[in-house]
Amino acid sequence: MPVVLEAILVSAGMLLIFGLAFLAIFLLAITMAPIERGLSKIIWDATAPKRPQPVLPKGSFRDFSKKH
């Protein structure tokens, strides 16, 4: 087998293997995307700061007498 033909076949084989590995990782990522999205939502909800409760103003007797 000529060296040039062998080099072409080896290069094509390496490109084919690279393409198949890329396809396998791509399909794995598509499959795992819903799980990752759910875990991400759980983490963001757990680390989000809680909204403070509305503080009701406490008035004193002086405030009441100023209003009335």
Does the residue 49 lie in any domain?
A: no
How many domains does the structure of the chain reveal? 1
Mean pLDDT of 32-41: 93
Q: Output the average pLDDT for the chain.
A: 87
Cα–Cα distance for residue pair 31/18, rounded to 1 Å: 20
Does the residue 65 lie in any domain?
A: no
Does the residue 58 lie in any domain?
A: no
For the chain, the 3-state helix, strand and coil shares in percent, each to the nearest 5, are 75, 0, 25
Residue 64 in this model has a pLDDT that exceeds 70: no
Name which residue leads in pLDDT, 62 or 25.
25
Does the residue 8 lie in any domain?
A: no
Domain containing residue 23: 19-44
Per-residue pLDDT at 40: 92
Mean pLDDT of 9-24: 98
Q: What pTM was estimated for this model as a whole?
A: 0.55
Does the residue 64 lie in any domain?
A: no
Does the residue 59 lie in any domain?
A: no
Residue 3 in this model has a pLDDT that exceeds 70: yes
